[in-house]
Amino acid sequence: AIKQWGEQWERHCVAHSKDSCIKNNLYDFGATGIGKALLLVANGYSLEENITTLKQNQRMVDIMCCDKSLGHLLDNGIKPKFCLVCDANVDYERYLKPFENQLDETILLINVCANPEWSQNGNWKSKYFFVNRDIIKSHEKFSEMTGCTNFIPA
């Protein structure tokens, strides 16, 4: 993957390194959600089948959505607490731009190698960056490039 995507990941890291939130620490979430379940939401049949139930019960759980499901949730009156962006090529125009002014209650969690249009746009409540810790040790390079010290297992 590094041979195929490395140049793009590096460009994205450079763009993210300029963000004032690059140093936000994931430990800020240490006491978040105590007593609540975290519901991870992604697109698919089960989301469609349960969208009404999710809408009716959204206050009972903290919702984390994958990037591509963000707009679908917002279209249905569901405001996720977190949006997770991992992919370098998640289409900003399609999946974020139509919703970029509806994010004041949503925290962006974004990989330093992900599409920087997601971190550079939107009225996010706050933003947190992370680096994937992997066996090829790419996290060392990307952490050094960005100054991000939040690591998660790849």
**Model pLDDT, residue 140:** 96
Q: What pLDDT score was predicted for residue 95?
A: 96
Q: Strand pairing of 61-66 and 126-133?
A: unpaired
Strand 126-133 with 151-153, pairing: parallel
Specify the pLDDT at position 29: 87
In this predicted structure, what is the pLDDT of residue 104? 97
Per-residue pLDDT of the chain (154 residues; tens, 9 = 90+): 788 888 999 999 999 999 999 999 999 988 888 888 999 999 988 998 999 999 999 999 999 999 999 999 999 999 999 999 988 899 999 999 999 999 999 999 999 999 999 999 999 999 999 999 999 999 999 999 999 999 999 8
Full-model pTM = 0.94
